[in-house]
Structure 1
């Protein structure tokens, strides 16, 4: 009997959690719709907002790329440490790691914002295509939408590919910062030297992916502005 009660309670809680999640999702969707409607009332259409958010994401990726370069420089400099205040050096390195985490979170946020507004824009565009009475205009608009979706997918794929390169680098940075924190000595420096080649390779791959994403963003912005 007790087992049945527990099972029933678990099922009830599962249903409740799903209901809450659905309500939250619908609330967020409603909030987004109201937000976009409000902007359009003051002359800012979804299309312009999408371009703006792509520009912000591009700039954030550029800043993130530079931040990871700086962090790598600090790691590299530490491997040549020949004396001095090791704790102060650790604090500087940890500061670079925390700044990198902050930028990584910002990249994530920018991508989610683009996905949100693009979804709203494409849904609206699809709906409005159905309102055409002219077959020619309807066909032309559909072709433009299809082309925009292709360019958008190229952009978002590049951004997510770059984003996926961030976490492995952060994990290595974190490990090394923690190890240095717990072992402020020559042994910890030797450990960093052993990992430097791998860190450099990971950061190089990240920077390459970021640059590709930035180029895709520039191309997408140019395409949107020419339509």
Structure 2
């Protein structure tokens, strides 16, 4: 059963939780079996999920960039417009949070099918009678695992940059909600520089992850 690092079980996890995970794992296995019968293999599903994750990362990158622009503009609004500014920042925070959640969900989906694919691939190596074919398949498996690991590490690095930004955004939105006055603007001015640095890091890691995703997708494409 593939578990993301954000949902790995700790010792003593409740039995009900473990049973739920086993049920989910069984459903995933049944889903892969049905797709296999329809001619859609785990390799194809993995490629599709990497593409979906890449697209979710791109949208998250754009959303956080847009949110930063909003924060930068808020520090110049007149006090009479602060209520409207608060509403805009709250909406940006909620959209950014949703974008981050979609990225995490896409990564979890990748890990699930990748583990199933690699387990199947490794198990089928012993079915070869032709040892040259077996060695070639084994090399391809290891190369794919390596590229996958590099991509997944990049995805997780990008994923890890989002919670600190969301925390800062939430704190600022909350402070503005309770202080719709000039003092709030002054406080936000002091926070914008830090937010700019955090989001610059986020976008750098996100673009690196997107590049790794594209490389992996290209490597999974069948040779012409």
2:213 is equivalent to residue 213 of structure 1:
no
Q: Secondary structure at the match of 2:39?
A: coil
- Residue pairs, 1:120-131, within 5 angstroms: 120-131=116-127
List, as ranges, runs of 4+ consecutive aligned residues in structure 1 with deviation greater than 4 Å: none
Q: Give the aligned partner of residue 23 of structure 1.
A: 19
Q: Give the aligned partner of residue 191 of structure 1.
A: 187
Structure 1 gaps of 5+ residues are 1-13
2:101 is equivalent to residue 112 of structure 1:
no
Q: Give the aligned partner of residue 177 of structure 1.
A: 173
Q: Give the aligned partner of residue 11 of structure 1.
A: none
Q: Give the aligned partner of residue 42 of structure 2.
A: 46
Please point out which of 80, 86, 89 is paired with 2:82: 86
Count of residue pairs brought into register by the alignment: 213
Q: Give the aligned partner of residue 55 of structure 1.
A: 51
Report if aligned partners of 2:43, 2:117 keep a CA contact under 8 Å in 1: yes
- Relative to the length of structure 2, the TM-score reads 0.92
More helix by share: 1
Q: Give the aligned partner of residue 160 of structure 2.
A: 164
CA RMSD after TM alignment: 1.3
